[in-house]
Structure 1
Amino acid sequence: MAKAGYHHGNLKQALVEAALRLIETHGPTGFTLSEAAKTAGVTPAAVYRHFEGREDLIAEGARQGYTIFADLMEHAYANGQPSALAAFGAVGRAYLAFARKFPGHYMAMFESGISPNHDPAIAQASARAEAVLTRAAETLSRHIPAGRRPPAAMFSAHFWAMCHGVVELYARTPPGTRTQFTPDDLLESGIGIYLRGLGLIPTDA
Structure 2
Amino acid sequence: MPKRGYHHGNLRQALVEAALELIREKSPQGFTLSEAAKAAGVTPAAVYRHFAGREDLIAECATQGFEIFSDLMDYAFNKGQPSALAAFEATGRAYLAFARRYPGHYMAMFESGVSHSQTPELAAAAARANRVLERAAEALSQHIPREKRPPAAMFSAHIWAMSHGVVELYARAAPGTRTPFSPEDLLETGIGIYMRGLGLLPPDS
TM-score (normalizing by structure 2): 0.94
Q: Paired residue for 1:156?
A: 156
Worse overlay, 56-65 or 116-125: 116-125
Residues 68-121 of structure 1: CA deviation (Å, up to 9, x unaligned): 111111111111545110110011011111111110001101111112211211
Q: Paired residue for 1:118?
A: 118
Q: Does residue 42 of the first structure (1) align with residue 37 of the second (2)?
A: no
Structure 2 unmatched ranges of 5 or more: none
Q: Paired residue for 1:83?
A: 83
Structure 1 unmatched ranges of 5 or more: none
Q: Paired residue for 1:62?
A: 62
Checking the alignment, whether the CA contact within 8 Å between 2:63 and 2:121 is kept in structure 1 is yes
Cα distance in 1, alignment partners of residues 87 and 15 from structure 2: 36
Displacement after TM superposition at 1:148 (Å): 2.0
Cα distance in 1, alignment partners of residues 6 and 189 from structure 2: 46
Amino-acid identity (%): 74
Worse overlay, 86-95 or 43-52: 43-52
Displacement after TM superposition at 1:7 (Å): 5.6
Displacement after TM superposition at 1:204 (Å): 1.7
Q: Paired residue for 2:128?
A: 128
| Corresponding residue pairs, total | 205
> Which AA in structure 2 matches 1:189?
T
Checking the alignment, whether the CA contact within 8 Å between 1:80 and 1:90 is kept in structure 2 is no
Secondary structure in 2 matching 1:88: helix
Residues 120-164 of structure 1: CA deviation (Å, up to 9, x unaligned): 111111111111111111111111122321111111110100011
Residues 38-61 of structure 1: CA deviation (Å, up to 9, x unaligned): 111222121111111111110110
Cα distance in 2, alignment partners of residues 79 and 175 from structure 1: 35
Aligned positions of 1:19-30 closer than 5 A: 19-30=19-30
Q: Paired residue for 1:109?
A: 109
Q: Paired residue for 1:8?
A: 8
Cα distance in 1, alignment partners of residues 27 and 184 from structure 2: 24
Worse overlay, 74-83 or 173-182: 173-182
Q: Paired residue for 2:74?
A: 74
Specify whether residues 6 and 172 from structure 1 end up closer, same or farther in structure 2 by C-alpha distance, changes over 3 A only: farther
Checking the alignment, whether the CA contact within 8 Å between 1:80 and 1:88 is kept in structure 2 is no
Secondary structure in 2 matching 1:153: helix
Computed over aligned residues only, the root mean square deviation of the Cα atoms, in angstroms, reads 1.7
Displacement after TM superposition at 1:3 (Å): 2.8
